[in-house]
Amino acid sequence: MDHFSSNLLAEIRDKFAFVEDCPFVGKRIFFENAGGALTLKSVVETSSKFAAIPDNQGRANTASKALMEIIQEAKKDAAKLFGATTGQFFVGESGTELLFRLVRNAATSAKVGGNIVGSSFEHPATRSAAKYWAAQTGRQYINVQHENNNGNVTAQLYSEIVNRDTRLVTILHASPVTGISVDLEAISKAVNSIAPEALIIVDGVQYAAHGGIKIDHYKIDGYAISPYKMYSRHGYGFAWVSDRLTQMSHEQLLDGPIESWELGTRDTGSYATISDVVKYLEWLGGKIENSESRSVKLSNAAKAIAAQEIALTELMIHGEDNIKGLKDLKGIEIIGGQKNPDRKGLVSFRINGTSSHLLVDFLNEKGIRTHVRKADHYSGNILDPLGWEDCVRVSVCHYNSSEEIKSFLLALNEFQVDASIGQVNSN
């Protein structure tokens, strides 16, 4: 059953583009949200509006001033969204580019020597950046091995590796392969208690659409998201950086304002779409409880999103009435286990003895879009230790419905029946 009433879910779905139809193939159910969430219709409108405006920022004319005010407003909106009362926000090319930039600047401005710590749990964005800049700055890179059983990494595991010489630590807030999140507050506090000078850079790309980010609760120096995974669009990344890292030397234009992290002309439209995301979440929070407080509305939206996603993933795993859940399918194995309180809207699994490619193709033909994760440079860090070649990733968002999950389960049942009588082929 959905957490949202059917009326509210219909209102939510109406806020997004291409909910039930793909412009290329027609009707489909979208369970590829970890690859890119649906886009708000307001974001589409805003993007086209700003794409048509020729004016640049920093000019003495009304249009230019208006653009700069929109950017300032978006930064204030982002501060509410991220729960940040310090630091600042800036845009970049992508989540990966921003994480590289944050890691690069942290590694080159930290005190020389020491080591850099990251975890096998991470996406290659932070892992590649941290390993590359460890080598470039002559530091040892030390790995915190994640837990296969739970599909994540803990504060305790970081504490066993971080030492007083640690200069930089990278953390992934939630994995796009396992779907499991970490206790960022606990990990950052643990790191800080051992190595107070260590700079901490966090990849929030997968977490952002599902959680409720609380920067003030973490002791970190950088947090990056990819707006296309948080109801906005492709074409830019969005990051928060701490005052501590800003005050250290970082890349910027010669003689420019010392606090600036922006490099070059900004796309006002990208900032304005962040405001659209915040407006949407406040609207959703306002549907849950009447409140004048923006923070209360955003917090209520985050709780409601989590509740709907838990309802969907529980239904996916356990089934309902005579519809079998994943756990009832022969040969099923779920990364992170059936019961995992840290799961964030994503279930990755395999049916032992069956190709995940075949299954994803079958679902595609049924109009259900999921994704295969292979043991390649993106997912090998998670799949190799499990001894898996691939898995099927089903990633949901709060706008998905229990009806869609049931269609997926019915299709899976059909797949198993077909497979058991040898009728499935790869066509």
Q: Please, which residues have CB within 8 angstroms of residue 112's CB and are 6 or more apart in sequence?
A: 137
- Beta-bridge partners for 172: 203
Residue nearest ligand PLP (C-beta atom): 95
The smaller minimum CB distance to ligand PLP, of residues 221 and 282, is found at 221
Question: CA angle at residue 22 from 16 to 28, to 5 degrees?
Answer: 95
**Mask: binding to ligand PLP, 230-269, rule CB under 6 A, as x and -?**
-------x--------------------------------
Q: How many CA atoms does the CB half-sphere of 207 hold within 13 Å?
A: 25
Cα–Cα distance measured from residue 167 to residue 187, given in angstroms and rounded to the nearest whole number:
15
User: Is there binding between residue 397 and ligand PLP (CB under 6 A)?
Assistant: no
The smaller minimum CB distance to ligand PLP, of residues 31 and 415, is found at 31
H-run or E-run covering 143: strand 140-144
How many other C-beta atoms can be found within 10 angstroms of the C-beta atom of residue 171? 26
DSSP state, residue 134? H
Q: Alpha-carbon dihedral of residues 101, 104, 107, 109, nearest 10 degrees?
A: -70
> Cβ 354 to ligand PLP, closest distance in Å?
25
Within 70-99, which residues bind ligand PLP (CB under 6 A)?
94-96
**Mask: binding to ligand PLP, 279-318, rule CB under 6 A, as x and -?**
----------------------------------------
> Cβ 125 to ligand PLP, closest distance in Å?
4
The smaller minimum CB distance to ligand PLP, of residues 382 and 412, is found at 382
User: Is there binding between residue 203 and ligand PLP (CB under 6 A)?
Assistant: yes
The smaller minimum CB distance to ligand PLP, of residues 223 and 388, is found at 223
Out of 40, 199, 205, 394, name the contact with ligand PLP by CB under 6 A.
205
Stretch that binds ligand PLP, among 56-64, 137-145, 203-211, 406-414 (CB under 6 A): 203-211
- Distances in whole angstroms, Cα of residue 55 to Cα of each of 69, 234, 256: 13, 22, 21
> Cβ 177 to ligand PLP, closest distance in Å?
8
Question: CA angle at residue 315 from 177 to 325, to 5 degrees?
Answer: 85
The smaller minimum CB distance to ligand PLP, of residues 205 and 409, is found at 205
Out of 206, 268, 308, 416, name the contact with ligand PLP by CB under 6 A.
206
The smaller minimum CB distance to ligand PLP, of residues 206 and 273, is found at 206
User: Is there binding between residue 188 and ligand PLP (CB under 6 A)?
Assistant: no
> Cβ 170 to ligand PLP, closest distance in Å?
11
The smaller minimum CB distance to ligand PLP, of residues 40 and 239, is found at 239
- Nearest to 145, CA basis, from 119, 183, 110, 108: 119
Angle, helices 268-288 vs 41-51, to 10°: value is: 160
Please, what sign has the CA dihedral across residues 46, 48, 51, 53?
Answer: negative
Token pair for residue 272?
A: 């304005």
> Cβ 193 to ligand PLP, closest distance in Å?
26
- Nearest to 16, CA basis, from 210, 232, 211: 232
Stretch that binds ligand PLP, among 113-121, 147-155, 199-207, 244-252 (CB under 6 A): 199-207
DSSP state, residue 16? B
Out of 39, 105, 226, 348, name the contact with ligand PLP by CB under 6 A.
226
Out of 9, 125, 272, 368, name the contact with ligand PLP by CB under 6 A.
125
Cα–Cα distance measured from residue 265 to residue 407, given in angstroms and rounded to the nearest whole number:
46
Token pair for residue 42?
A: 């307001």
Q: Please, which residues have CB within 8 angstroms of residue 168's CB and are 6 or more apart in sequence?
A: 103, 106, 107, 110, 116, 117, 130, 133, 198, 199, 200, 201
- Beta-bridge partners for 336: none
The smaller minimum CB distance to ligand PLP, of residues 33 and 400, is found at 33
CB 336 within 8 A of CB 180: yes
Stretch that binds ligand PLP, among 151-159, 202-210, 310-318, 354-362 (CB under 6 A): 202-210
Q: Which residues bind ligand PLP (CB under 6 A)?
A: 94-96, 123, 125, 172, 176, 203, 205-206, 226, 237
